[in-house]
């Protein structure tokens, strides 16, 4: 699969820098749950990245049909493993959502599309225009507030994903993006249905409003799931 940027007078230097940065971030990683990058180069008028092809598309497509609990837990664990890998090298994805989780032929998941990924020290409002970066349904409270982000913002987004995988619906719904952001900041962590109540403490550890109360990384989540026999 190719990611291509046309190089002409309309392409600003920072746009090209972000394109190159995307490759540089991914090139640091060699993990089964992170998309593989094979080549980065320039041709006449274009810059491109050759990356792994995913024949089964993204997780959003898979979630159009119900996901059984065992498969959902498997996906959550794979996402946590991929997040652990990127966090280990100081990368925060910042836009974790089903559309950025790709499925290989064997059913395994890989994190992809690091288009808004930055080093840990960057802020979500660091776009030049103060715009919020990320998808409102999956944004952490600190992202919604424009605060400095770290690995725990990705863990919150994983919590939103986990709820959606287990229940088939998103945890928060609102009439506008601003109302949705307000819910991420202030609304209580949603309750899982009775059949998933044994995972409520895990969800609380992922979606806590105070990031100090969240799992600090994918590794700690995996350790906790292993202790519960999952």
Q: Tell me whether residue 125 is exposed, middle or buried, using C-beta atoms within 10 angstroms of its C-beta: 0 to 12, 13 to 18, 19 or more.
A: middle
* Catalytic residue from among 95, 113, 150, 154: 95
Six-digit token pair at 156? 């919150």
- Report helix, strand or coil for 202: helix
Is 95 labeled as catalytic in the residue annotation? Answer: yes
Six-digit token pair at 165? 């995988």
HSE at residue 6, side-chain half, CA atoms within 13 A, is: 3
Distance CA 88, CA 83 (A): 8
Q: Is the dihedral of CA 188, 67, 217, 199 positive or negative?
A: positive
**Annotated catalytic sites, by residue?**
95
């Amino acid at each position: 699969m190719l990611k291509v940027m046309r190089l002409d007078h309309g392409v600003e230097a920072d746009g090209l820098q972000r394109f190159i940065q995307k490759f540089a971030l991914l090139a640091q990683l060699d993990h089964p749950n992170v998309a593989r990058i094979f080549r980065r180069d320039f041709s006449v008028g274009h810059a491109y990245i050759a990356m792994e092809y995913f024949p089964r598309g993204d997780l959003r497509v898979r979630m159009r049909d119900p996901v059984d609990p065992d498969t959902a837990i498997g996906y959550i664990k794979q996402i946590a493993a991929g997040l652990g890998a990127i966090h280990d090298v100081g990368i925060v994805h910042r836009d974790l959502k089903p559309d950025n989780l790709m499925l290989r032929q064997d059913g395994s998941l890989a994190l992809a599309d690091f288009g808004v990924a930055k080093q840990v020290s960057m802020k979500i409002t660091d776009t030049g225009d103060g715009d919020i970066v990320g998808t409102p349904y999956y944004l952490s409270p600190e992202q919604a507030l424009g605060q400095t982000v770290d690995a725990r913002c990705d863990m919150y987004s994983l919590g939103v994903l986990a709820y959606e995988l287990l229940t088939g619906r998103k945890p928060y719904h609102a009439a506008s993006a601003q109302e949705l952001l307000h819910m991420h900041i202030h609304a209580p962590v949603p309750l899982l249905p009775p059949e998933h109540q044994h995972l409520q403490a895990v969800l609380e550890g992922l979606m806590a409003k105070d990031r100090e109360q969240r799992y600090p990384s994918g590794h700690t989540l995996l350790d906790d799931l292993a202790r519960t026999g999952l």
